[in-house]
A and B are shown apart, each in its own frame.
Chain A
Amino acid sequence: MSRFRIGFVPLVDAVLPIVAHALGLAAREGVSIELVRDPSWATVRDRLIYGQTDAAHLLAPLAIATAMGLDRPAVPLGAPFMLGLNGNTVTVSARVAALLGGEGGDVAATGRALAALARSEVAVGRRLRFAVVHRYSSHNYMLRYWLAASGCDPDRDVEIIVVPPPFVAEAFALGEIDGSCVGEPWNSVAVERGDAVIVAATSQIWNRGVEKLLAFRQGVLDERSEDVAALLRALHEAGRIVADPGRHEEIAALLAAPEYIGQPSDLILRALSGKLVLRHDAEITPIEDFLVLHREAANFPWRSQAMWLYSQMVRWGHAPLGEGGFEAAAAVFRPDIYRAALAGTDAILPSASAKVEGAIARSLGAGSVTGRLILGPDRFFDGVLFDPDRALDYVAAQAR
């Protein structure tokens, strides 16, 4: 049986490859999965680009940065399958939460309060310190987007540092950080210890925020296309199972195993079910579309998602605005492979490869090759649209 070694970081959104493996879905498609767990993204990336793994659960912007050679020699990567939308929260220390007063309210109001607090700290010579999981992470770009739109400069008014996900709760406990943007269950772990409070979900900043993807070296996509297609079908099937609320407890218990996430299943269940506990001992707060793993063709790699990420990399000086930059970023996302692999299954195959991001306020039907595609609300909290055909205008507007 053709084997895929897949690297991952212990996070709830690694669930699809884990379920595809543990529930025998990959085997049913004639491929096998071996999962390789690492605490840091640099290790997951290096194992992928130097051939220790065949595929990796990877931050979408990190895949783009690697393929574009932003801080090392470029390695061609392709991502034919998204592993989920959103699933992260902005979490602050108990001290900052007390200063903000109240959580879980309107995300724009919370953003303004946080920005005001950050500026008042600057006025007395301090800066709030936020942890994100990697320079090239959606966490970094979502946090920056929110802060910037709320009236503070993420480069000048706060300090943004990198802390790998499994160490974020510890960083809160040691008082090393005032806030973070990280994936689950690591926010819930910090909340459970009483050290931190969740003040926003990234799904409230961008309803359908692009998050992790399954990245392959280009050579693997070319040479093992049949096997890759089989693997994608298994992941699609895993998505169908994970989307069933009746199976959330079972899946949470699976993920809790030490070889996967190694945290209590009731904490993992929160992200899977979208029922978060924002503060230690508080009631459950349901958050709509907290982590979308399957429905609305959530696994389809829209080229416009990659382009939005590149616009943010340019915005914050992480990537040069070069000729063909948007095209190069978009080329990492491979909707063609997704369509070819899932043709003939029950998967909905969008006929377009890019869309205006942030344009849907209420659920909307969209064109698809098969089935009826309903796209849910995908707005940015400030109502600004990202039109991939006018990407340069978007970059220019944000540079002001």
Chain B
Amino acid sequence: MPKEVPLKIAVVDESVARAAMIEEGLREAGFSDIHLLLERNGLVARLTTLAPDVVLINLENPGRDILEESFAISRALARPIAMFVDQSDERSIAEAVDAGISAYIVDGLRKERIKPILELAVRRFHAFSRLQQELSDAKSALAERKAIDKAKALLMKRRGIDEPAAYALLRKQAMDTGRRVADIAEALLTAETLLGGLS
């Protein structure tokens, strides 16, 4: 990072976890003047006091119209703020939008100072969505495991068989019908509930 006046970066996000991930990334990349703004209330006032050089904000943040209005007014009064980088950089902006980020940048800042920040934010946003996906996958995997365990217990009790046999039964049914074991287990539990056997 070039030895210039350090950029003051504001990260606006209602997701605390994502904001923290971006902050961490920026710090690792050598930026130190980073401010997290996590609450919608009083956002404009806090940004005005802060006067950052760069604002990173999630694309879907409902506060963006309000923010843009305040920038338009502040530009009319004193401090020019342009949205995003300049036109020559449309691809990296499109990538940011795809990742779900929007950025506001003080007019006149050199592109090469902004680009690494935007690129880093894009990577962190992608990493965050990946983590979320993994978490939701893990949750549904856990739910499936539970259903299979319950279905096995049910079969063991009803048919007087042991656990491997119960699992083999579920598995065979799944293969015969071209469905997943978890789906068979789920169907079995649903049927049992409807028929009143499960308390």
Whether A42 and B82, one on each chain, are in contact in the complex, defined by CB atoms closer than 8 angstroms, is no
Q: Compute how far the CA of A40 lies from the CA of B64 in the bound complex, rounded to whole angstroms.
A: 7
Within 8 A of B (CB), among A20-54: 38-43, 46-47, 50-52
B69 lies within 8 A of A43 (CB) = no
User: Would you call B102 and A162 a contact (CB within 8 A)?
Assistant: no
Taking CB atoms and an 8 Å cut-off, the chain B residues in 78-100 that contact chain A are: 82-84, 86-87, 90, 93-94, 97-98
Closest to A167 in B: B62
Is B93 within 8 A of A50, CB to CB?
yes
Q: Does A281 contact B (CB under 8 A)?
A: no
B28, CB-defined interface residue at 8 Å: no
Is there an interface contact between A50 and B64, defined as CB atoms closer than 8 Å?
no
A12 lies within 8 A of chain B by Cβ: no
Interface SS majority for chain B: helix
Q: Is A125 an interface residue (CB 8 A)?
A: no
Name the interface residues of B90-123: CB closer than 8 Å to any CB of A.
90, 93-94, 97-98, 102
Cα–Cα, bound, A180→B60 (Å) = 23
Residue A275, interface by CB 8 Å:
no
Q: Does B24 interact with chain A (Cβ within 8 Å)?
A: no
> Given known contacts A162-B65, A162-B66, is B97 in contact with A73 (CB within 8 Å)?
no
Complex Cα–Cα for A167 and B40 (A): 12
A52 to B100, alpha carbons, bound, how many Å?
A: 10
- Choose one: A42, A47, A50, A73; the contact of B65 (CB below 8 Å): A42
CB of A46 within 8 A of CB of B82, answer no
CB closest chain-B residue, reference A133? B65
Q: Which residues between 160 and 177 of chain A lie within 8 Å of chain B, taking CB atoms?
A: 161-164, 166-167
For A164, list chain B residues within 8 Å (CB): 62, 65-66
Contact surface of B with A, Cβ cutoff 8 Å: 59-69, 71-72, 75-76, 82-84, 86-87, 90, 93-94, 97-98, 102
Are B72 and A71 in contact, CB atoms less than 8 angstroms apart? Answer: yes
Distance A135 CA – B98 CA, assembled complex (angstroms): 25
Query: Do most interface residues of chain A lie in helix, strand or loop, or is the interface mixed?
Result: loop
Interface presence of A317 (CB below 8 A): yes
A134 at interface by CB-CB < 8 Å: yes
23 contacts between A and B (CB under 8 A): A38-B60, A40-B60, A41-B65, A42-B65, A42-B68, A43-B59, A43-B60, A43-B64, A43-B102, A46-B59, A47-B59, A47-B97, A50-B90, A50-B93, A71-B75, A71-B83, A72-B84, A73-B84, A73-B87, A133-B65, A162-B65, A163-B66, A166-B62
C-alpha gap A96/B77 in the complex (Å): 31
Q: Which residue of A lies closest to B64 (CB)?
A: A42
Extra inter-chain contacts (6) besides given A39-B60, A40-B61, A317-B76, CB under 8 Å:
A40-B64, A47-B59, A50-B90, A71-B83, A135-B68, A161-B69
Known: A71-B72, A71-B83, A317-B76. A40 touches B65 (CB 8 A): yes
Cross-chain contact of A162 among B69, B87, B90 (Cβ < 8 A) = B69
- Which residue on A lies nearest to B62, using beta carbons? A39
With both beta carbons as reference points, the residue of chain A lying nearest to B60 in the complex is identified as A43
Residue of B nearest to A62 (CB): B65
The 5 closest A-B pairs by CB, nearest first: A42-B64, A162-B69, A50-B97, A73-B87, A39-B62
Kindly state the separation between the CA atoms of A41 and B86 in the bound complex, as whole angstroms: 21
Q: How far is the CA of A41 from the CA of B93 in the complex (A)?
A: 18
Residues on B with C-beta less than 8 A from A166 are: 62
Contacts of A50 in B (CB 8 A): 90, 93-94, 97-98
Chain A residue, CB-CB nearest to B81? A71
User: Is B65 a contact partner of A46 (Cβ separation < 8 A)?
Assistant: no
For A52, the chain B residues whose CB sits under 8 A away are 97-98
Which residues of chain A have C-beta atoms less than 8 A from B87's C-beta? 73
CA distance A227 to B61 in the complex (A): 32
| Chain A neighbourhood of B62, CB < 8 A | 39-40, 164, 166-167
> Closest approach, in angstroms, between the C-beta of B62 and any C-beta of chain A?
4
Contacts of B82 in A (CB 8 A): 72
| Residue in chain B with minimal CB distance to A317 | B76
Q: Which residue of B lies closest to A140 (CB)?
A: B69
Q: Give CA–CA (A54, B49) in the complex, Å.
A: 38
Chain A residue at smallest Cβ distance from B76 = A317
Expressed in whole angstroms, the Cα–Cα distance for A47 and B97 within the complex equals 7
Closest chain A residue, CB of each to CB of B88: A73
A-chain residues with CB within 8 Å of residue B93 when the two chains form the complex: 50
Contacts of B69 in A (CB 8 A): 134-135, 161-162
Asked whether B66 lies within 8 Å of A72 as measured between CB atoms, the reply is no
Q: How far is the CA of A81 from the CA of B86 in the complex (A)?
A: 30
C-alpha spacing A47/B60, complex, angstroms: 10
